[in-house]
Structure formats: structure tokens, C-alpha cells
Amino acid sequence: EPEVTQTPSHQVTQMGQEVILRCVPISNHLYFYWYRQILGQKVEFLVSFYNNEISEKSEIFDDQFSVERPDGSNFTLKIRSTKLEDSAMYFCASSYRETEAFFGQGTRLTVV
Amino acid sequence: AQTVTQSQPEMSVQEAETVTLSCTYDTSESDYYLFWYKQPPSRQMILVIRQEAYKQQNATENRFSVNFQKAAKSFSLKISDSQLGDAAMYFCASMEYGNKLVFGAGTILRVKS
């Protein structure tokens, strides 16, 4: 069964460093999302992406964040200068329709 | 704005028994979708079941079923014949058409053998 794939599964980075989280959505999907979950808290929406542009973003998604779909298969989330509070589980999701979302296994980001 | 409330931080069930997890939501839209996601210790988010608000019939997926009460804005998940593998965090979520998922705080389900 097709699935959303995220790499790496765990990333440790120094505060102030740039990180890129990578996702390969399901191949025929059109809508792409990033969510995050700080440990012990609820899952929060970051950004949605459709037709090669951001369709919606949350207040969390400030200028430190960016997304890209550099080719036909990858979808990346970049954090330019990481802060301690960026430590969280980051989930990529994709869908064919605007009425569902299938999640990857997540990337655990630890900022030290 | 969408909101989702799960009032049960934790629930327990005996293996083979039935358990119901509660969820209420609020939305101003008439076209929306409701979901239950399972998050095991691996922290992956697994879609359990999905309900279209325009459908009166409750969704069912094998041992999982929902009780969708649209007027009351209630969307509970029933797990029948509970198994040890059902132990996880369960998140209720809503999605207005073309919009993002909004999640509840989650309910930890423990299954006793």
C-alpha cells in the first residue's frame, strides 16, 4: 500500500542551525501538509501546499520556515535558524482530495 | 474557527471488551469531515476512520465505528473486541472543506489483558 515517507526519522541539531526535513508524498496526491507535535501536546497545523504554492499557513509558520517541492516527488520543510522550542515531531501528510490526509511516520527534531 | 474537544485524557478497557472514546467539535461550516487517528508509541499517525458530515450513516471500519450526532456536534469512536494492539493515543480531528485538520488533545487508551 502506498505511504508517505519521511527522512530522517530523528534529527539532532544545534540551536541556530538550519534543518531540512524531507518527505515523499504518495505519488498521485495533490495536496501536501506539514504538522508538528510538541511532546505531550496536540498536533498543530503548520502549512498546506497545492499547485506549487502555499495555500494556507498557521501563525507558527513564520519567516523562519519555508516549504518547497523541488521536483515531482519530494516535499521539504526548512527551518532556517532553529530554536529550542522548535523541538517537536514533524509530520508530513498528503492527500488526493481536500477532504482527508495521510501521514508519514514523522521526523523527531531535537534542538540542543 | 474550528475547535475539537476530547474530554477523556485516559481510558482503560479489558481485552475483548468494547470502549467508546468521546469527541465534540465546533464548526460554522456545513461541509466538513471528521476523523479519528491512532498514534501508537512509535508516534506515527494512522487514520482509523473518516466521516463525511453530509452522510447520516455512521462510518464503520471492521471493529471501529463512530456515533456521529450532527446536531449535538458529537463524534464518538467505538472500538469493539478490543485488542492489545489497540493501545495508543487516539486523536479526534475535523477538517472544513479545503482546509486544515484541527486536532483534539487526544485520549490515551490502555488495554488490559
Q: Average pLDDT over chain B, rounded to whole?
A: 94
pLDDT tens, position by position, B3-42: 999 999 999 999 999 999 999 999 988 889 999 999 998 8
CB pairs under 8 A between A and B: 56
pLDDT range class, residue B99, cuts 50, 70, 90: confident
| Percent of chain A at pLDDT exceeding 70 | 100
- Is the pLDDT confidence value at A85 over 90? yes
**Cα nearest neighbour of B105 on chain A:** A42
Tally helices (H) and strands (E) across chain B: 0, 12
- Give yes or no for residue B74 having a pLDDT over 90: yes
Decide if pLDDT at A84 tops 90: yes
Dist CA B65 CA B67 (whole Å): 7
| Whether the bond into A8 is cis, omega within 30 of 0 | yes
pLDDT per residue as tens digits for the range A31-72? 999 999 998 888 999 999 998 899 999 999 999 999 999 887
Q: CB A100 to CB B52 under 8 A?
A: no
Q: Which of A43, A105, A106 sits opposite B103 (nearest CB)?
A: A43
Three-class DSSP category at B101: strand
Rama region for B83: left / alpha / beta (φ>0; ψ in -120 to 50; rest): beta
Gap between the Cα atoms of B97 and A97, Å rounded: 10
pLDDT band at B110 (very low <50, low <70, confident <90, very high): very high
Give A104→chain B minimum CA distance, Å.
7
3-state secondary structure of A92: strand
Give the nearest chain A residue to B46 (CA atoms).
A103
Look up residue B56 and give its three cell numbers: 447520516
3-state secondary structure of A17: coil
Asked if A3 is an interface residue toward chain B (Cβ–Cβ < 8 A), one would say: no
Rounded to a whole number of angstroms, the distance from the CA of B106 to the nearest CA of chain A is 7
Which residues on B lie below 8 Å from A56 (Cβ)?
Answer: 99-100
Q: How far apart, in Å, do the first and last CA atoms of chain A sit?
A: 36
